[in-house]
Structure formats: structure tokens, C-alpha cells
A and B are shown apart, each in its own frame.
Chain A
Amino acid sequence: MSPALLLLVACDRGFSDPDRAFAAPIEGPPTYATTIVAPTTLGVVDTSRTDVHGTPIGVGCATCHGPDPSQAWAATPGEPFHTGVSLRHGNNTCDHCHDPADRTRLHLADGTSIEMGAAIQLCAQCHGKQYTNYQHGAHGGMNGYWDLRQGPRTRNHCVVCHAPHDPAIPVVSPVLPPHDRYLEPPHDHL
């Protein structure tokens, strides 16, 4: 503590109405929950075509891939409907993540089939450090309450920010820089 800080503390006069100094204390354990915003189904693949209005046409993956084993054909590179899937995720191929037996599901490295919504487990197999950070609130965005005694919290699932086929965060245009007074052209005020 610096001498000036000591003086400052020594000279502090506090509140003349002590009731105003603090809010009411909050007792008890956290009662609210954290919800993870997670997609539970397959997504949409771009077909690189557009409709009459110029809107890109996408095809839902589930159009072809249902839970029926007959729809779980092997992945063929260059297959027409998959040209819109740009896979830039290390050396991974489709079957590293998608369950070959049921395309609506994923599977872990040991072969255990998991639901789409449980993908975090799958990601965590390789990205353990990020997963640890995530578990401790130090990775991935969140909304709501820091204090779960006072309100709930929602958290992002990995794929909210990282497209699973191309997980690098895309380059974006930033929000405009500050335009402080000095950046305005000088003008006379009188």
C-alpha cells in the first residue's frame, strides 16, 4: 500500500446514511442453471445455385440422411450434393465425426455413437485445452448472469462459433473505430 493510499483510506468519511452503503445480501447456494445453446439436428448444405430472387438454395442434410441405415451410404469425395461442404478441419474426413451407421448421429473415437447435441464431447477429444477452458467459463461466449444465485445463464455450444467443417473463426470487418473529437475537421466555434 502506498502512503497516499493509506491516507486516502484513513480520510474516508463513508456514508452519512449507513443503510445506503450496501444492497441486501444474497444468501444461499446458486439455484439457477446454465443452458447450453446447442443444435440437435443436421444442418443445411449450400448447393451453389440460386432461386429466381437470387437467394442461395440450400438442401437440408436430413433430406437424404435419415436415421434409416439404408440412408447411411459411404461418403464419396466430389459427390454433387457435398460440393458445398468445404471441409477445412485438420486431416479429418466425414466419418471421423459422423456415425457411418446413422448419419443423424455422431460417434466418438472409440466408436460410441452419440447424439448431435452432445457434440461437445466429440470436440473435446482433440481440443482438450479449449474444453477445459470452456468448462471454467474461459472460452466461448455466454449471456445472462454471472451470479447463478440471481439468474440463469446461457452458453454457446462449440458449433455456434466454429462451423464444424471449417472451424477457424472467419475474418470479419470490425465495428467502426472511435471517431473522437480530434478526428473531426477543426472548426471555429465563434
Chain B
Amino acid sequence: MTTSDDPDRRNVLKAGAVTLGAAAFARAVAPVTEWVDGLSVDGFLQKHYKELSKEEMNDILRRHEQKTADEYGREVQIQDVRPIPGVQFAYALNLSICIGCRKCAEACHQENNHDRRTNNSYIRVLEMTQGSLDLAHGNPNYDHPVPQPGKYYMPVQCHQCDNAPCVKVCPIEATWKEPDGIVVVDYDWCIGCRYCEAACPYHARRFNWTKPEIPADEINPDQAYLSNRIRPQGVMEKCTFCLHRTRKGRLPACLEACPTGARVFGNLADPDSEIRWVLENKRVFVLKEDAGTQPRFFYFFDV
């Protein structure tokens, strides 16, 4: 450069370049302001779920209710529903009488306030070929009358594993196993690295790729912090056995929606429960037992 011998002129040029660069940078990052507007100081500083006192939890629940009212136009009730002492949840599914109607997936979609655009659901129903348990022969995208001859149907959702790979890999303890066996996510703590999604052998975890969209009148207002409240963008979510229902003694939404009664849910710790009867009297099996995940979700074939 011809100017290299003239330090003053050089410095002026440098200053000009820096100014231009800074202006270009400001323009490049301009969209971020919209993102920053969506954040709040309270939200930013919020502690991990297990470190909150009752009062702090209450403040957070009210804040989230207000946020839902502001952003989605719906009054909702968000509670912090805790496990009942002495209850151990488990689920069983009778593959012989499941007809593959996807009513469970639909009920999940509505109950858990899923994003409407993606028709998301925690349940994926696979159309399997008789004579094979190989998932490679399964098809979740079937769109023809069911049941088809020569096929059986296998709904897959979170297995609430006792040795959960997703919990193991989470770098910040944003997901953990609760005393009643349910694996939960603190949506306000998760950083969205999606390591758990890679670790899960059952495709049970979903990421909020965008902010969920739900019309106000379709929102289920009965919500819990750890389950079906509307999730923020950029965090993981998963099936919680509808803990906002089941921890109050109610049946999960997918079970109530099942027209054939293929689904059995209950308390493993109660020897008189339906789930115990199934586990003791049916030849149950778990999916991908070789993965060593020790699921709480069992399948069986029985007419």
C-alpha cells in the first residue's frame, strides 16, 4: 500500500475500517434484538427446579401463567405437581388388540399442548409386519384403513427407563428421573444441546425447533410445570405419563383415548393393581432389551 509510510493517514484509514466494520456488525446482529425482547431477567436468572423454594416456585408459575395469557391469549392454571409417596408408575400395552387408529397419539397431541403445525405427539405408532419384531420393517407414516391383514401396530412413546440414557448424558441435569419413575425435563433449565435426543433408543424425545403454535381455544388449561405447559423454543420435551393427571390419580390421556383397551397403566407398588396383574400373568417384553435401559413400558401379545 502506498500509504504504508504515512502513519497518520494509515490510522485514519484504520479508524474508518473499524467504524465500517462495527456498523456492518451492528446490522448483522440486528435480528437478535427480537430474541432478546423475549427474554426476561427473572427467566434468565431462574434456578434449577430442585433448588427452588415453594415461594419461588409459586412466583414462577404465576409468571408462566401470565406469559401464556399474553402470548397465547388463554387463561391457564400451571401447577407444580409432585409425586405421590409410595407410587411407582408403569405402563403395559397389548399388541394383539391395538388396531393402529392413532387415537392415543391424537389425545397426546391435544392433552400436552403440542405444536399444531407439526402435529407433534409423544407417541409414534408403527405398523409392523407379522412375524417380525424388527423395527426396520415398521412404518409410522401409514395412511390407510386399519387394521390391515398381516400387520400389527406398535405405539412407541417414552419408556421412562430406570437406566435412562437420556438422563445420563445430560450435561446440566436438566432431565432426571423422579421418585415415581417418570423422567422429566425442566424446560426452564434445558440448554437444547439435544444430546439426550441422540442417546434415546426409542425416539421418545422431541426438540422445540420453533415456538409452538396453538390456537387459544385449543389450549389445555390444566397444566403442570414439568409436563404439558407450553414449552419454550429451543428446549427438549418428552412424554411424562401425563403427570399432571396421573399424579392426581387420573389415567393418562392416551389410555382414555384407546378404543380397544390395549393400554394398562398403574402403580407397580400396589400388588392389586392392573399393571401388576399384567406383569405377573402375561408374557411381557420390553423393546430393545439389549440396550439395557430397563424400561417401565411393557408390551405383550394376548387376544
Are A and B direct contacts in the complex by CB distance below 8 Å? Answer: yes
In contact, A174 and B168 (Cβ under 8 angstroms): no
Query: Is A91's beta carbon under 8 Å from chain B?
Result: no
- Most chain-A Cβ atoms within 10 A of its Cβ — which of B51, B82, B246, B265? B82
- Contact between B247 and A136, CB atoms less than 8 A apart: no
Residue of A nearest to B146 (CB): A174
User: B residues within 8 A CB of A19?
Assistant: 54
**Chain B interface, >50% SS class:** loop
B250 surroundings in chain A (CB, below 8 A)? 144-146, 150-151
Q: Is the CB of B248 within 8 A of A150?
A: yes
Bound CA span A137–B261, Å: 8
A interface residues, how many (CB within 8 angstroms): 52
Distance between Cα atoms of A142 and B99 in the complex (Å): 17
* A interface: dominant SS: loop
Chain A residues 1-49 with CB under 8 Å of chain B are: 1-2, 4-5, 8, 12-17, 19-23, 25-26
A181 partner, pick from B118, B247, B273, beta carbons under 8 A: B118
Residues of B with C-beta under 8 A to A177: 102, 119, 140-143
- A142–B255 touching, CB < 8 Å: yes
Across the interface, A25 reaches (CB within 8 A) one of B85, B99, B248, B261, namely B85
- Chain B residues with Cβ below 8 Å from A1 are 163
CA distance A171 to B148 in the complex (A): 8
Question: Roughly how many angstroms separate A12 CA and B48 CA in the complex, as a whole number?
Answer: 13
Question: Inside 8 A of A136's CB, which chain B residues have their CB?
Answer: 274, 277-278, 281
List, in ascending order, chain A residues with CB within 8 A of B102's CB. 174-177
**Interface positions of A (Cβ within 8 A of B):** 1-2, 4-5, 8, 12-17, 19-23, 25-26, 129-130, 133-134, 136-147, 149-151, 153, 156, 161, 169, 171-181
Question: B residues touching A (Cβ–Cβ < 8 Å)?
Answer: 50-54, 57, 80-87, 92, 94, 97, 99-103, 105-106, 118-121, 124-125, 140-143, 145-147, 163, 167-168, 176, 179, 209, 246-251, 255-256, 258-261, 264-267, 273-274, 277-278, 281-282, 292, 302-303
In the complex, 19 of the A-B residue pairs with CB atoms within 8 angstroms, ordered by the A residue number, are A5-B163, A8-B167, A16-B50, A19-B54, A20-B52, A21-B179, A22-B82, A23-B83, A139-B94, A141-B255, A145-B250, A146-B273, A147-B267, A150-B249, A174-B101, A174-B146, A178-B120, A178-B124, A181-B209
